[in-house]
Amino acid sequence: MMWSIARMVGIAGLSVAFISAAAALDAARVNDAQKAANELLERAKGSHQTGAPPRLSDPAVQKLFDRVFDTKTLEAAPVPFSEVQRLMQWFTAGNQIGTIYILSGTNLTDTAKAGEDPQALARIEKNLAAYAPEMGRYYDFMVTMSGVVSDTFGPWLASLKPEQREKPNVKSGADQVRSGLLGVVNGSLGSLAIDDVDDAFRRDRMAKLNAVAPKLATFLEPEQLATLRAAADELAGSMSNPEVQASVKAFGAKLAKP
């Protein structure tokens, strides 16, 4: 299903350009996540050609994944807007890891070029199932972070006066953030339509998506939520497992604006 691959690739192209005045998020934790991501990138060097990225079956790789993708500290309490710069740094570190597995064996180093290469797209579809443990951790991280970002930006924007929200830099920044999060969630949904993905993978991803849906509903624009609901409806219609289908439908229902 090539439509779902385009969505999946879109996650790795996420770009968020919205700068805060300060960043109080634990610098040591964020820097450690970046260091772990850098080590994984080093271990994966050349995997876009060899098709042999580091695997979670290696205990050392498992520890590096945990350092990047463990978001318990972020989920425990809302992240103030003053900390958004480091939050985005952490987001980017995790996104770099997903790119390793998306592009494994494609001979590409840039996800933006995948749409121009049918063979690369076919390989990317196979990669999702082949690297399901790694891709599952990646998707869960990106979806969870989308909820954290929504909880960070939403209250800050709501605190501004209408004329402040309409300032070009504020409006443009908010639009970029929303667009990026839409791409993340759309990509995660699209990944579940891949034929070779099993229902256990789908159930686990939907658990994260359902947890984040109310946060997205308060932050994304109505037309963006409509896009996600349409994608959920399409996905639900293609699911043969009743539990997965019900979970996808529940996700769509949670996207109604409060």
pLDDT, mean of residues 133-148: 96
**Percent of the chain topping pLDDT 90:** 71
Residue 36 DSSP SS3: helix
Q: Rounded to an integer, what distance in angstroms lies between the CA atom of residue 167 and that of residue 150?
A: 20
pLDDT in tens, 60-108: 999 999 999 999 888 777 888 888 888 889 999 999 999 999 999 999 9
Q: Where are the domains of the chain?
A: 2-254
Structure tokens at 169: 């830099």
Tokens of 97: 């890891």
**Is there a contact between 186 and 7 (Cβ–Cβ < 8 Å)?**
yes
Q: How confident is the model at residue 231 (pLDDT cuts 50, 70, 90)?
A: very high
Q: Which are the contacts of 165, defined by CB distance < 8 A and separation ≥ 6?
A: 157, 171, 174
